[in-house]
Amino acid sequence: MRKQQSNKGSWSRPLADLVGAVIDPVLARQGFGQSDLILYWDDIVGERLAAMSQPIKLQWPARDRHAADASATLIVRVETGFALELQHLSGAVIERVNAHLGWRCVTRLTLKQGPVERRAAARLARSVPDPIAAKEAENLVSNIKDEGLRQALARLGAHALSRRARGD
């Protein structure tokens, strides 16, 4: 006898899928079109810069914000002692933000000095790959000329091969 399959999908969904829909309207009032810039600030600017700064607002010019030449100013709160360094890195931050958003949205960075809210860092314990898997991964990517890419792929491959060997 064949079991009847239900057309209903699973009702459980990851919380991350629901957060954007709730946060996006609130952030839209601060000029952010979506929550990505806030949620992924650590990934966009790196851990070191994210520990000392946080995006506050995207300020659009008074004219039509959907015009082809419209660009925003990103206002960032930064720890007082770190403001000068972030000012020197503003070009790199603007590039990273624009790369994340996928278009040349931000052209200026304005710094507001003050205390930055500290978020509890949720760190995953990094597992060390098996030495045999690491060697095998290095052999697989040995023909790649770009050093950085080869090392990154070797690390990724070593972890994947280690997990496969453990049965994860």
pLDDT 10s digits, 20-50: 666 666 655 655 555 677 778 888 888 888 8
User: How far is C-alpha 115 from the chain's CA centre?
Assistant: 22
- Per-residue model confidence as pLDDT tens digits over 122-148: 455 567 788 888 899 899 999 988 888
Work out the mean pLDDT of the chain and round it to a whole number.
77
pLDDT for residue 6 is more than 60: no
Closest CA to 56 of 81, 43, 73: 73
Q: Comparing 154 with 10, which gets the higher pLDDT?
A: 154
The alpha carbons of the chain give a radius of gyration, in whole angstroms, of 22
User: What's the pLDDT tens digit per position in 82-121?
Assistant: 888 989 998 999 998 888 887 788 889 999 988 888 765 5
Looking at the chain, which residues constitute the CATH 3.30.70 domain(s)? 17-113
Q: How far apart are CA 51 and CA 17, in angstroms?
A: 25
* pLDDT for position 115: 87
**109 against 164, higher pLDDT:** 109
- Position 69 scores a pLDDT of 62
Q: Annotate 118-138 with DSSP letters as a single string.
A: PPPP-PPPPPPPPHHHHHHHH
Query: Are 65 and 73 contacting, i.e. CB atoms less than 8 angstroms apart?
Result: no
Let me know if domain 17-113 sits in CATH 3.30.70: yes
For residues 89 and 49, is the Cβ–Cβ distance under 8 A? Answer: yes
Instruction: Tell me the per-residue pLDDT of 53-81, one tens digit each, with 9 for 90 and over.
Output: 998 888 777 765 555 566 888 889 999 88
Reported in sequence order, the residue ranges of the chain that DSSP labels E, i.e. its strands, are: 53-59, 72-78, 106-113
Q: What is the pLDDT of residue 19?
A: 63
